[in-house]
Amino acid sequence: MSECKVAITRVFRAPRERVFEAWTQARHLACWFGPTGFTFPSCEADARPGGVFTLCMRSPEGKDYWVRGAYRDVRQPERVVIHCTLHDEDGVPRVDEIIEVTLAERGGQTSLELLATCTGRGAGAAAMLGRMPKGWAQTITRLSTHFSADF
């Protein structure tokens, strides 16, 4: 079994409540969650402990990668913890991930601290884990761009 941790801190020009909504509402998650070039034909989010977190991330090449899991901790508007499993393009579960997001408001802006702890198993897991740092960096950049849109 392999492991990868990704830690990112970013400041957004958006109130903390808006950043929290982006992590907890499907209509927002489907706009930004995932690496550059991916689209989201399916997204469900029930932001409460035990509530569903499910996305289909479609790659630019048309391959679907499912992320299935649940919210573990939801403290509006300061903290979100999601436990999920990432499936490869064949639908095989490969990576378990715990995503911890902490939000702090500072003068109308929001500081986000993300820690993603990933463990992988089986063929293809090492490659998926190797793409995690770049994928998360792109994902957080997409989140930043999402705030420039009117939502």
Helix or strand or coil: residue 55?
strand
Predicted pLDDT of residue 124: 79
Tally of domains in the chain: 1
**Which string of DSSP letters, residue by residue, matches 67-94?**
EEEEEEEEETTTEEEEEEEEE-TTS-EE
Q: State the CATH number of the domain containing residue 63.
A: 3.30.530.20
Query: Residue 21 is part of which domain span?
Result: 2-148
- Tell me the pLDDT tens digit for each residue of 17-71: 999 999 999 999 999 999 999 999 999 999 999 999 999 999 999 999 999 999 9
User: Using one digit for the tens of pLDDT, what is the confidence trace for 116-151?
Assistant: 999 998 777 888 888 899 999 999 999 999 987 655
